[in-house]
């Protein structure tokens, strides 16, 4: 047995991020309480550096290193780039909010960067063990972030729920992985796929492992029946953290599904397809119907996330390259939409006031027409109405599912998205047709307002010209899975 020293070049972005955030951890000790802005600027710089390393290595090829534990392919590059970008937006949106709530501390940034590192590790994992470690890195950082507001009872409750359920899901996932290891004798995704394809593994044990694996994955994605933590975390966590939870971790979860189900368990498509159909149907049904009854905007967005994840699964479960790239397009547009939606909530929140009930949006048009228009764009995008990114995302996953011959599922999904349109349109009605309770226009940091405008207009832009992003997704998926 000879040992090949790992090729570190593909892992440069991760290595850079880890070094940068360790330096941040130490540097933060010496930064004066009044100059905390430096920490923020440093964190943003670290993200820019990571993005730079990602761009430097951008080549359309698949590199496997660390003895088959780490894979660097176009899919990984694209997803990492989007995660880094999303986290950068998250930091910019939440700066004002966390400053006014006493959370503007080094730990907030360090933990968010650690979580991002976890997501990046998950995206590039080519080995069950690495995947699991990346996941734990993410979960642990998230859990601490949710509980960061220690004096808030609902935040502690949310963190506790998340922690207990995450531990349970990790246990299930590990049990599933160990079953698959027992059946195939390998932890490496490609080898597992080969062994299964050759029929050298006991199908009974494989299916048993698969059930546990899908359950664990579903928890991470937050889909029914493993969704219980989602609304509580969205409502309980500080809005800035909730914003983070809806972005990078969802990309990580998507990568998780791609690597484990489409990659390692690819030959077992019929088995996991039927499991995902059940999960997707339940998510779309429960997410959309329950969201109607919510008066808290964050809770409503939580249920809408559940239904969005159901739609995302439609793309994955169709099991074709087209389906995967549709799902990827969906996750990217979802991240953009929820960034913008939470960015709005953060913009409207002030000192000691959370703009998280529906009535806070009453008559927004009279207060700040431009932001009302942004919210309009976000909402029609979430509802999937044409001339928005959300429309093309839904169209893509639905046509992928149709190609896979799941007509009844497509009909059901369309019906559910009609139900869902109600609560998105209700916000538009509140903004444009109701009288505001207070008429002061919105104030916010100029970078926050600028980024939010860019974010909202991107949704509109993708609704008019979705082709570049669709092409990018298709190319990444095609090169990575058949590379």
Partner 1 sequence: MTFSAILTGAAGGVVTARNPVHAALFLVLAFFTASGLWLMLDAEFLAIALVLVYVGAVMVLFLFVVMMLNIDTERLRIGFWKHLPLGGGVALLMVIEMWLVVSGRQFSSMVEPTPESVSNTKQLGRLLYTDYVLSFELAAVILLVAIVAAIALTLRRRKDSKHIDPAEQVKVKASDRLRIVAMPVEKEL
Q: Name the residues that contact partner 1, by CB under 8 A.
A: 3, 6, 18, 22, 25, 66-67, 69-70, 105, 107, 110-111, 114, 117, 121, 127, 129-130, 133-134, 136-137, 140-141, 143-144, 147-148, 150, 182, 202, 204-205
Minimum distance from CB of 182 to partner 1 (Å)? 7
Helix (H, G, I), strand (E, B) or coil at 125: strand
Tell the smallest beta-carbon distance from residue 211 to partner 1 (Å).
16
Shortest separation between residue 37's beta carbon and partner 1, angstroms: 20
Q: Given the complex with partner 1, which of 145 and 406 has the nearer CB atom?
A: 145
- Shortest reach from residue 230's CB to partner 1, in Å: 21
Please say which residue, 114 or 330, places its beta carbon nearer to partner 1. 114
Q: How far is CA 429 from CA 142, 297, 363, in A?
A: 35, 14, 9
CB of 7 closer than 8 Å to CB of 72: no
Residue 467 vs residues 329, 380, 387, 462, 470: alpha-carbon distances, Å: 10, 19, 13, 8, 5
* Min separation Cβ 85 and partner 1, Å: 22
Q: Is 105 left (phi over 0), alpha (psi -120 to 50) or beta?
A: beta
CB of 359 to partner 1, least distance (A): 34
For partner 1, the closer CB: 201 or 398: 201
Classify residue 190 as exposed, middle or buried by CB count within 10 Å of its CB (0-12, 13-18, 19+).
Answer: middle
Let me know: does 338 contact 389? Beta carbons within 8 Å: no
Q: Are 303 and 291 spatial neighbours (Cβ–Cβ below 8 Å)?
A: yes
In the complex with partner 1, the residue whose CB is nearer, 150 or 482, is 150
What is the rounded CA–CA span in Å between residue 228 and residue 66?
A: 37
Q: CA-to-CA distance for 120 and 122, rounded, in angstroms? A: 5
Q: Which of 132/324 has CB closer to partner 1?
A: 132
> Distance between CA atoms of 422 and 383, rounded to whole angstroms?
8
**Cβ nearer to partner 1, comparing 148 with 233:** 148
Cβ proximity to partner 1: between 151 and 435 the closer is: 151
350 SS3 class: strand
Beta carbon of residue 132, minimum distance to partner 1 (angstroms, whole number): 9
Closer CB to partner 1, residue 205 or residue 425?
205
The contacts of residue 239 (CB under 8 Å, 6+ apart) are 94, 97, 298, 342, 345, 346, 349, 354, 356
State the nearest-atom distance from the C-beta of 158 to partner 1, in Å.
14
């Amino acid at each position: 047995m000879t040992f090949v020293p790992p090729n570190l070049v593909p892992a440069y972005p991760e290595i850079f991020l880890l070094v940068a955030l360790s330096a941040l951890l130490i540097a933060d000790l010496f930064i004066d309480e009044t100059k905390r802005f430096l920490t923020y600027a440093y964190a943003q710089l670290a993200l820019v550096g990571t993005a730079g390393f990602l761009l430097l290595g951008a080549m359309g090829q698949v590199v496997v290193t660390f003895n088959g534990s780490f894979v660097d392919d176009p899919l990984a590059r694209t997803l990492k780039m989007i995660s880094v970008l999303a986290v950068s937006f998250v930091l910019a949106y939440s700066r004002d909010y966390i400053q006014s709530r006493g959370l503007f501390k080094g730990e907030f940034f360090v933990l968010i960067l650690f979580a991002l590192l976890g997501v990046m590790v998950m995206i590039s994992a080519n080995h069950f063990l690495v995947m699991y470690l990346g996941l734990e890195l993410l979960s642990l950082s998230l859990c601490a972030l949710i509980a960061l507001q220690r004096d808030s009872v609902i935040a502690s409750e949310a963190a506790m729920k998340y922690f207990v359920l995450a531990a349970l899901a990790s246990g299930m996932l590990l049990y599933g992985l160990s079953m698959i290891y027992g059946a195939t004798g390998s932890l490496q995704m490609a080898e597992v796929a080969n062994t299964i394809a050759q029929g050298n593994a006991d199908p009974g044990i494989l299916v048993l492992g698969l059930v546990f694996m899908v359950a664990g994955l579903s928890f991470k994605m937050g889909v029914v029946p493993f969704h219980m933590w989602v609304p509580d975390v969205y409502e309980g966590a500080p809005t800035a953290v909730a914003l983070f939870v809806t972005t990078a971790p969802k990309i990580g979860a998507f990568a998780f599904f791609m690597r484990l189900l489409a990659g390692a368990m690819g030959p077992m498509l019929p088995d996991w397809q039927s499991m995902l159909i059940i999960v997707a149907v339940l998510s779309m049904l429960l997410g959309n119907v329950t969201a109607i009854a919510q008066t808290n905007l964050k809770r409503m967005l939580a249920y809408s996330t559940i239904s969005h994840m159901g739609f995302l699964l439609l793309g994955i479960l169709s099991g074709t390259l087209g389906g995967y790239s549709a799902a990827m397009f969906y996750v990217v547009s979802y991240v953009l939409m929820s960034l913008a939606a939470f960015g709005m909530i953060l913009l409207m929140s002030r000192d000691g006031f959370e703009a998280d009930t529906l009535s806070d949006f009453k008559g927004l048009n009279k207060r700040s027409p431009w932001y009302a228009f942004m919210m309009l764009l976000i909402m029609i995008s979430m509802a999937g109405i044409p001339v928005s990114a959300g429309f093309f995302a839904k169209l893509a996953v639905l046509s992928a599912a149709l190609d896979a011959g799941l007509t009844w599922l497509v009909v059901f999904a369309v019906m559910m998205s009609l139900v869902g349109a109600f609560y998105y349109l209700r916000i538009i009605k509140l903004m444009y047709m109701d009288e505001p309770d207070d008429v002061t226009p919105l104030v916010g940091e100029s970078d926050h307002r600028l980024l939010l405008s860019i974010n909202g207009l991107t949704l509109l832009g993708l609704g008019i010209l979705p082709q570049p992003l669709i092409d990018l997704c298709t190319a990444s998926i095609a090169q990575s899975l058949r590379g």
